[in-house]
Amino acid sequence: MLTLQNVTIKFGGLTAVNEVSAQIDRGVIFGLIGPNGAGKTTLFNIISGVYAPTSGIVNFDGQDITGLAPYKINGLGISRTYQNINLFSKMSVLENVLVGCHTKSAAGIIPSVLRTDNQRLEESTVRQKSIEILEFMDLADKGNFTACNLSYGEQRRLEIARALASEPKMLLLDEPAAGMNGKEKEELSETIRKINAKGITILLVEHDMKLVMNITHQICVLNYGKRIAFGDPEQIQKDENVIEAYLGGGIDV
Amino acid sequence: MLTKIKNNKVAGIAVLLIAVIIAVMLRERYLALILCFICINSIAVTGLDILFGYTGQVSFGHAGFYAIGAYTSTLLAKNFGMNPLFTIIIGMIVAMIFGIIVAFPAAKLVKHFLSLLTIAFGQMVFMFVSVTDKLTNGYSGILNIPDVSIFGHPIKTNQAYFFFLLLITAVVLLFKRNLINSRVGRAFIAIRENPHAANGIGINVRFYKIVAFAASAMLTGLAGALYAHLVGFISPDTFMATQSNLFMTMLLFGGIATFLGPVIGSAILVIVTELMQSLVSYQMLMYALFILAVLFYLPNGVVGIAKWVKESLINKKQGKTHANATERHN
Ligand SMILES: Nc1ncnc2c1ncn2[C@@H]1O[C@H](COP(=O)(O)OP(=O)(O)O)[C@@H](O)[C@H]1O
Ligand SMILES: [Mg+2]
């Protein structure tokens, strides 16, 4: 579904992502792990169009999407969340999800100003859909809250809700469990599984090894921008390169 | 139930009061003129609000769009004898086209660079209407601009023009509300709140900034055209940078990104400006004081105070019912 071919990006002298190749099959939960500064977020930024790679190709569903603008990539079916929460903080929780519906609705400026029948119909469909997504993400009772007033964990869930509203084929999650407590993490694992069960392919960056090892089907390990290992969770836990990269301490599971 | 009746009563009294004030004012030609100015500025500032308040794109050059609307409509009506009702619409469209032209470079800029570009635009329009003597009669301005006429009946009095303007203002406000509560309006606000996240969730940020500029310029252009046909005389003086600053002051003082903020801000500043007619040279100082008031005391303008009062009243009421409940419990 998503293929990376020798993707490289340089920031001045620093090679943040170095000749990374990977193939992510439709329907899997694919983990991307590595120490801080390994280049995981940068790789997300390349896939989602924030950065154009210095060299290499990103191919999604048979289409070359290398260097395409983020809004176009979202339109093609890749949606993401951010490591540093990036909500529309003064909008309500429901409005954040409504914005997420942008690519899956069509009303232009004139129908919106005139509130044509079609526009009103679309608006009520979109609202209904957004409320359902909030229910799915367990945020239904917070719909009228201003986004910045949510707790940290709730804000992370809202980011996922907003991303789901664009009906992605593939969802990129950048450290979705950061700042969550144990119970929240367990619920999150369950939610990610449920999203995956809907047929959405998931690319997951996460530092919580227990969570990663529990829910991913395949894992790719980055270190200093390079891919150092690839395999299923069991293989990764035994991999010598990986153990060494994590300071010889092995991976805490 | 009781509060509902009470609220209706309050609203009823407010409407009645406003109606009486308007009726009294309308008896005076001069006071009717002030009401007309309030409507015109409300429309212009609503335009600025769409761009600045909702989309987060600053403009200190809206006098340029105001001028384009005014001069386009005036020149077409005077030189070609066209009905002002049509020339006003054309003025609006020409202003919109200029909005789009400005937006192309502007959509790439942020903050102070955008301020500079819009200031430059306002200045360019001002220079243009000042120096093109043959077309615009330069600094002397254009006199005897024809009245708007509806079905062959010219609107001659300020009183009648006010009702015409009131209708247009109401329609503009209704359209603004529809726009803001739509997919397009949400895209605007998303861009203001977080352009990167907006881009990431599928919004073509550049396109929507251009749309916001177009809509904004169109409304301010409409206001300019309406102004020209009200006053019957335009000259470059009206379209100096001061005018852009005045629009911005009205918006900030009334309350940005609110439904009534532009109307309230326009009303207060038009009235204060009229009261200070004899102190014209201190106008800029006065606007500066208004801006300082906003910066230090009224971050959300007058509408912000109204909201604050309403919320504290509700809290008080809830406190009371709460107290009642505990009393009964005892
Ligand atoms: N825009 C940028 N400019 C310069 N360096 C960057 C930029 N983005 C990321 N980097 C660098 O690239 C490296 C990888 O960062 P990142 O992808 O955020 O790591 P991770 O998400 O794996 O912790 C870091 O050394 C970081 O400082
Ligand atoms: Mg990161």
CA distance A186 to chain B (A): 27
For an interface test with B, give the residue of A47, A102, A116, A173 to mutate (most B CBs within 10 A).
Answer: A102
How many secondary structure helices (H) and strands (E) does chain B include? 14, 2
Q: Give pLDDT tens digits for B203-228.
A: 999 999 999 999 999 999 999 999 99
Question: Going edge to edge, which strands form the sheet with A201-205?
Answer: A78-80, A170-174, A201-205, A29-33, A218-223, A226-231
The pLDDT score that the predictor gives to residue B325 is: 44
Q: Read out DSSP for B277-327?
A: GGGGGGHHHHHHHHHHHHHHT-TTHHHHHHHHHHHHHHHHHHHHHHHHHHH
Q: Which residue of B has its CA nearest to A50?
A: B200
Q: Read out DSSP for chain A?
A: -EEEEEEEEEETTEEEEEEEEEEE-TT-EEEEE-STTSSHHHHHHHHTTSS--SEEEEEETTEE-TT--HHHHHHHTEEE--SS----TTSBHHHHHHHHTGGG----HHHHHHT-HHHHHHHHHHHHHHHHHHHHTT-GGGTTSBGGGS-HHHHHHHHHHHHHHT--SEEEEESTTTT--HHHHHHHHHHHHHHHHTT-EEEEE-S-HHHHHHH-SEEEEEETTEEEEEE-HHHHHH-HHHHHHTTTS----
The pLDDT score that the predictor gives to residue B310 is: 84
Q: Read out DSSP for B21-69?
A: HHHHHHHSHHHHHHHHHHHHHHHHHHHHIIIIIIT----S-HHHHHHHH
For B193, the closest of A69, A89, A123 (CB atoms) is: A89
Predicted confidence band at A57 (pLDDT cuts at 50, 70, 90)? Answer: very high
Q: Give pLDDT tens digits for A99-136.
A: 999 999 999 999 999 999 999 999 999 999 999 999 99
The pLDDT score that the predictor gives to residue B6 is: 59
- What six digits make up the tokens of B18? 């406003």
The pLDDT score that the predictor gives to residue B200 is: 97
DSSP label at residue B145:
P
Taking the CA atoms of residue A232, residue A238, residue A241 and residue A242 in that order, the dihedral angle to the nearest 10 degrees is 60
Contact at 8 Å (CB) between B233 and B74? no
Contact at 8 Å (CB) between A167 and A104? yes
Q: Do A119 and B201 touch (CB under 8 A)?
A: no
Fold category of B32-299 in CATH: ABC transporter involved in vitamin B12 uptake, BtuC (1.10.3470)
- B/e letters for A35-68, b = 16+ CB within 10 Å, e = fewer, are eeebbbbbbbbbbbbbbebeebebebeeeebbeb
Ligand 1 neighbour A101 (Cβ under 6 A)? no
Residues of A whose CB is below 8 A from B201: 71, 74, 79, 99-100, 102-103, 162-163, 166
φ/ψ of A82, rounded to 5, equals -120, 145
The pLDDT score that the predictor gives to residue B7 is: 62
Task: For chain A, give every domain's residue range.
Answer: 1-77+168-253, 87-167
Predicted confidence band at A26 (pLDDT cuts at 50, 70, 90)? Answer: very high
Q: Which ligand is nearest to the CA of A83?
A: 2
The pLDDT score that the predictor gives to residue B199 is: 97
DSSP label at residue B13:
H
The pLDDT score that the predictor gives to residue B304 is: 86
Residues of chain B with pLDDT under 50: 1-2, 323-330
Q: What is the mean pLDDT of chain A?
A: 93
Residues of B whose CB is below 8 A from A89: 193-194
The pLDDT score that the predictor gives to residue B323 is: 47
Q: Read out DSSP for A81-112?
A: --SS----TTSBHHHHHHHHTGGG----HHHH
Query: Among candidates B197, B60, B44, which has minimal Cα distance to B121?
Result: B60
The pLDDT score that the predictor gives to residue B182 is: 97
The pLDDT score that the predictor gives to residue B320 is: 55
Using the structure block, give the residue that is written with the tokens 């910045």. A148
Q: Give pLDDT tens digits for A201-217.
A: 999 999 999 999 999 99
The pLDDT score that the predictor gives to residue A138 is: 94
Ligand 1 pocket test, candidate residues A9, A10, A11, most atoms within 8 A of CB: A11
Q: Give pLDDT tens digits for A218-231.
A: 999 999 999 998 99
For A88, the closest of B179, B185, B189 (CB atoms) is: B189
Give the mean pLDDT of A47-65.
Answer: 96
Using the structure block, give the residue that is written with the tokens 């209708």. B167
Instruction: List all residues 6 or more positions away from B161 whose beta carbon is below 8 Å from its beta carbon.
Output: B32, B36, B148, B155, B230
Q: Which residue of B has its CA nearest to A82?
A: B197
Which atom of ligand 1 is the closest one to the Cα of A42? 17
CA B204 to mean position of chain CA atoms: 26
Query: Among candidates B74, B47, B79, which has minimal Cα distance to B63?
Result: B47
Residues of A whose CB is below 8 A from B203: 71, 99, 102
Instruction: List all residues 6 or more positions away from A239 whose beta carbon is below 8 Å from its beta carbon.
Output: A221, A229, A231
DSSP label at residue B88:
H
CA distance B228 to chain A (A): 26
Fold category of A1-77+168-253 in CATH: Rossmann fold (3.40.50)
The pLDDT score that the predictor gives to residue B327 is: 40
For B182, the closest of A80, A87, A119 (CB atoms) is: A119
Q: Do B184 and A98 touch (CB under 8 A)?
A: no
The pLDDT score that the predictor gives to residue B277 is: 77
- pTM for the full model? 0.91
Using the structure block, give the residue that is written with the tokens 């392919």. A201
The pLDDT score that the predictor gives to residue B1 is: 44
Separation of CA B194 and ligand 1 centre (Å): 21
